[in-house]
């Protein structure tokens, strides 16, 4: 027992930072994923259509996407921790306020603007920037552990929200989730997280001075596309390839987050069962994300990224071709292998290609494409269902776009542009410059 305690207390502090951000992501991102559980309930209570509920969700994804580059830029300039703390406070009170809604227009304002705006400051644009500064060699693994917090949130909080809905009502669910954000998530970030290992006199990965000097000799040398000015990234293919792939990721995750339970109800499956299936998807994904992050530190990230998109394409196909009661679980198992696995791969690959000095802004821009794709998809899926009485045409659209995302990910020339593969003799050392 004493040995275990000694191991824990002697662990590199960067892992405590990851653990704290994991816990915050579990609560904050997990609570937001519960939106889909309440769609049918809000349709009935607010006497509105699926399209109007979809407008609220789509606006939320749109607002969340537009603010990503700004939060990323703030993180680069002022540090990510202050951005996260302020965002958590606003998100927590906004989530509690949702329990007081009386009509769909309040839903549109509170979820579409307030909660979604604030959640932009606690997503991987800011948290990934912190982790990228604490880790170099183990960056993919560390970011994947952080990302899995969202999966664990889906595993536990989505079924929990459905359970509270069944026991009480939807208002209690949102009040409880807001309370968790303020009472648990906020103190953990305040007390544990540090934005940079230098604040504690430490080196990335916990290296000693000799190992850190060797690591700096590679990691702090510029690769072919390393930049201090985020604008320069748009002159090179990887930025566009990563953004287009993440656009499709947004299309195919947002649509499911909002419409999966509603689709299941249309297939005569109870909301509780559908929430459990989504929880299973998230649980499988938590394991898959960590495994893929570990693998990404040992092989090309773009290869794994392409495979992840193709796995998700197969999951979408199951919703179209299989009976609903079977497709529900097949999608959960197959889709679970891909759900948030794109996040550590995309964030790590962006850092590998463009460096970390403007990483917050770059990640914010790429994440914006993800959220904009999600906003469009959420609205389109609702319109398709209201028009045709089935989600099948929308699912076909998701399948085709995922094939495209897989192809464009495979086309990234990682060995040419990533600092992980470029030969040291081909690199150029430059003085640090302040990011725009």
For the stretch 288-316, pLDDT in tens is: 888 887 888 888 899 999 999 999 999 99
The residue range of the domain holding 120 is 14-195+224-422
Q: How far is Cα 242 from Cα 140, in angstroms, rounded to an integer? A: 16
- CA dist 216 to 104, 128, 261, 426, 429, Å? 53, 20, 48, 16, 11
Q: Is the pLDDT of residue 279 over 90?
A: no
Q: How many Å apart are CA 277 and CA 280, to the nearest integer?
A: 5
Q: Tokens for 217, please give them.
A: 């000799």
CATH number at residue 257: 1.20.1250.20
181 pLDDT band, cuts 50/70/90, is very high
Confidence of residue 99 (pLDDT cuts 50, 70, 90): very high
- 290, 144 in Cβ contact below 8 A? yes
215 within some domain? no
- Among 166-175, 205-214, 252-261, 273-282, where is mean pLDDT lowest? 205-214
Whether residue 217 is contained in a domain is answered as no
- Is residue 178 in some structural domain? yes
Q: How confident is the model at residue 8 (pLDDT cuts 50, 70, 90)?
A: very low
Q: Is residue 4 a part of any domain in this protein?
A: no
| Pick from 106, 386, 381: nearest CA to 258 | 381
d(CA 58, CA 64): 10
CB 197 within 8 A of CB 134: yes
pTM score:
0.74
Q: Is the pLDDT of residue 1 over 60?
A: no
In a domain, 67, yes or no: yes
- The closest alpha carbon to 123, from 150, 141, 144, 96, belongs to 150
What's the domain count of the chain? 1
Residue 430 has what pLDDT?
A: 42
Residue 341 lies in a domain: yes
Residue 32 has pLDDT above 90, yes or no: no
Distance CA 113, CA 87 (A): 13
pLDDT tops 90 at residue 90: yes
Rounded Cα distance, 77 and 87, in Å: 16
**Burial of 298: CB neighbours in 10 Å, binned 0-12, 13-18, 19+:** exposed
pLDDT at 207 over 80: no
Q: Is 310 a domain residue?
A: yes
Contact (CB, 8 A) for 345 and 296: yes
The residues, ordered by sequence, that sit 6+ positions from 276 with a Cβ below 8 Å of its Cβ are 159, 162
Decide if 335 is inside a domain. Answer: yes
At residue 409's C-alpha, the angle toward residues 133 and 404, to 5°, is 140
User: Quick check: 6 pLDDT over 50?
Assistant: no
pLDDT digits (tens, 9 = 90+) for 222-249: 667 777 777 888 889 999 999 999 999 9
Phi, psi angles (nearest 5°) of residue 222: -70, 135
User: Which of these ranges, 12-21, 62-71, 85-94, 181-190, has the smallest mean pLDDT?
Assistant: 62-71
């Amino acid at each position: 027992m004493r040995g275990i305690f000694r191991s824990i207390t002697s662990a590199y502090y960067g892992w405590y930072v990851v653990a704290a951000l994991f816990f915050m992501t579990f609560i904050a991102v997990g609570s937001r994923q519960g939106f889909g559980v309440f769609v049918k309930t809000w349709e009935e209570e607010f006497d509105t259509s699926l399209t109007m509920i979809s407008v609220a969700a789509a606006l939320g994804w749109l607002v969340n996407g537009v603010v990503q580059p700004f939060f990323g830029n703030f993180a680069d300039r002022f540090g990510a921790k202050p951005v996260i703390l302020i965002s958590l406070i606003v998100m927590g009170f906004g989530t509690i306020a949702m329990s007081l809604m009386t009509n769909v227009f309040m839903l549109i304002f509170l979820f579409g603007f307030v909660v979604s705006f604030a959640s932009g400051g606690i997503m991987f644009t800011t948290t990934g920037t912190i982790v990228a500064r604490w880790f170099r060699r183990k960056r993919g693994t560390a970011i994947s552990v952080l990302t899995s917090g969202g999966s664990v949130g889906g595993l536990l909080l989505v079924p929990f929200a459905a359970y509270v809905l069944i026991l009480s009502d939807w208002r209690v669910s949102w009040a409880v989730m807001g309370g968790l954000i303020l009472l648990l998530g906020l103190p953990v970030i305040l007390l544990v997280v540090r934005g940079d290992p230098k604040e504690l006199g430490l080196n990335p990965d916990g290296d000693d001075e000799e190992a850190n000097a060797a690591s700096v000799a590679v990691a702090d040398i510029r690769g072919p596309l390393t930049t201090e000015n985020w604008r320069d990234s748009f002159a090179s293919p990887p930025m566009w390839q990563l953004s287009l792939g993440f656009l499709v990721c947004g299309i195919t995750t947002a649509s499911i987050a909002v419409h999966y339970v509603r689709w299941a109800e249309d297939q005569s499956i109870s909301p509780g069962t559908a929430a459990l299936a989504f929880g299973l998807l998230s649980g499988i994904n938590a394991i898959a994300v960590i495994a893929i992050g570990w693998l990404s530190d040992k092989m090309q990230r773009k290869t794994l990224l392409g495979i992840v998109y193709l796995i998700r394409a197969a999951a979408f196909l199951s919703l179209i071709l299989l009976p609903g009661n079977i497709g529900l679980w097949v999608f959960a198992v197959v889709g679970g292998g891909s759900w948030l696995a794109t996040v550590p791969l995309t964030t790590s690959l962006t850092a590998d290609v463009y460096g970390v000095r403007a990483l917050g802004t770059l990640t914010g821009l790429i994440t914006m494409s993800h959220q904009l794709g999600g906003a469009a998809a959420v609205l389109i899926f609702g319109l398709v269902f209201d028009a045709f009485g089935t989600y099948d045409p929308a699912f076909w659209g998701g399948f085709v776009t995922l094939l495209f995302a897989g192809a464009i990910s495979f086309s990234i020339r990682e060995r040419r542009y990533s600092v992980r593969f470029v030969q040291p003799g081909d690199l150029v050392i430059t003085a640090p410059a302040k990011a725009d």
